[in-house]
Amino acid sequence: MDGPGPLGDFLQARRARLRPEDVGLRDLGPRRRVAGLRREELAQLAGVSVSYYARLEQGQSRAASAEVLGAIARALLLDKHERAHLDRLADAARRAPRARRSRPEKVAAETRELLGAVEDIPAMVLGRRTDVLAWNTLGHALLAGHLDFHDPDDPARRPNIARMLFLDPHCRDLYTDWKRKVRTVVGSLRVAVGKFPDDPQLAELIGELTMKSPEFVTLWRDHRVKPCDGASYELRHPAVGTMTVTQQTLSIARSPEQALVLCTTPAGSPSGEALILLRRMSPGPASPTVPERAPSTGKPS
């Protein structure tokens, strides 16, 4: 294995986040040369040998038991999302990598029907890598009206929320508190990497953002783990002005790797009125362009 790997990187980042006083230790030693806890301090808190913990961080041990992982999680003060992420990374480290390109994700017919049923609410379906697999008219108008409505239908042109937020000026300007929004998206990407460690397309996305966005690099190094479940954001929409929406992410039972994102506003609020105005301004998508065919002569060819 080259380098510590995802598990080792995560343990190092979480250890660097803690100070001795955070875990009840008194720092009586010489001047500290590392950020956060030392390996020997973390090992002592977890009740494991220093050499064993060092091997785990360095990617030289793949067989950590559930008990050991639990002790390390408690020593690192991990929350429930971080603990689940730790377990996924440890499970992935035990398996041999099987990197292979997966088939393009598809939206089930019943999910498209659901998008149509909530046409008065901005909505979209996201895939495992934050690709936009589908959106309704209002979801498109609210979040990415500068793109072609039919882009999600073509896997080669599908918008990707993470890529858009970091690299698309329109999406950067849309969120008043852009930094809070991208922290949430990066945390969600961390969850995805833990669930799908052998996904080459996901690795390519992370690589692209690392090469093109210094802000992404900084956030990615933090190893923050938090799924996108629900939050309110102030938007500066180019057509209807400032508005606040609550974005909620719901799981799709028949497609567990996909999620339905809904954007709501309180009824009668200025934001709700802005959404009504946006709805009136959005006539709906045009049909995809179909090449014209020569008129039939009625004669067999």
> Can you give the pLDDT at residue 80?
85
The pLDDT assigned to 110 comes to 92
Highest averaged pLDDT of the listed ranges 82-91, 218-227, 267-276 = 267-276
pLDDT for residue 182:
94
Mean pLDDT in the chain?
84
Segment 145-158 shows an average pLDDT of 94
Helix 137-144 vs helix 270-281: crossing angle, to nearest 10: 110
Q: 190-216: per-residue pLDDT in tens? A: 888 888 888 889 989 999 999 999 999
Q: Contacts by 284-287 with C-beta closer than 8 Å and gap 24+?
A: 284/137, 285/137, 285/140, 285/149, 285/150, 286/149
Secondary structure, 3-state, 78-124: CCHHHHHHHHHHHHHHHCCCCCCCCCCCCCCHHHHHHHHHCCCCCEE
Contacts of 34 (CB under 8 A, 6+ apart): 16
State the pTM of this model. Answer: 0.71
pLDDT band at 237 (very low <50, low <70, confident <90, very high): very high
Q: Half-sphere exposure of residue 177, counting CA atoms within 13 Å on the CB side?
A: 11
Q: What is the SS3 assignment for 213?
A: coil
Three-state secondary-structure class, residue 37: coil
More confident residue, 275 or 67: 275
pLDDT in tens, 90-139: 887 777 555 566 788 999 999 999 998 999 999 999 999 999 999 999 99
Q: Residue 180: pLDDT above 80?
A: yes
Name the percent of the chain lying above pLDDT 70: 85
pLDDT at 20: 79
Residue 248, judged by CB atoms within 10 A of its CB (0-12, 13-18, 19+), counts as middle
DSSP state of 25: -
Q: What is the pLDDT of residue 291?
A: 44
> Which residues face 125 on adjacent strands?
134, 260
Please tell me the least confidently modeled range out of 84-98, 170-184, 199-213, 241-255.
Answer: 84-98
Structural domains of the chain, ranges and CATH numbers in brackets: 5-94 (1.10.260.40), 109-281 (3.30.450.180)
State residue 271's pLDDT score.
Answer: 97
In terms of C-beta density within 10 A (0-12 exposed, 13-18 middle, 19 or more buried), how is residue 195 classed?
Answer: middle
pLDDT at 297: 40
- The tokens for 50 are 């220093």
pLDDT of residue 300: 42
Kindly give the pairing relationship between strand 132-135 and strand 259-264: unpaired
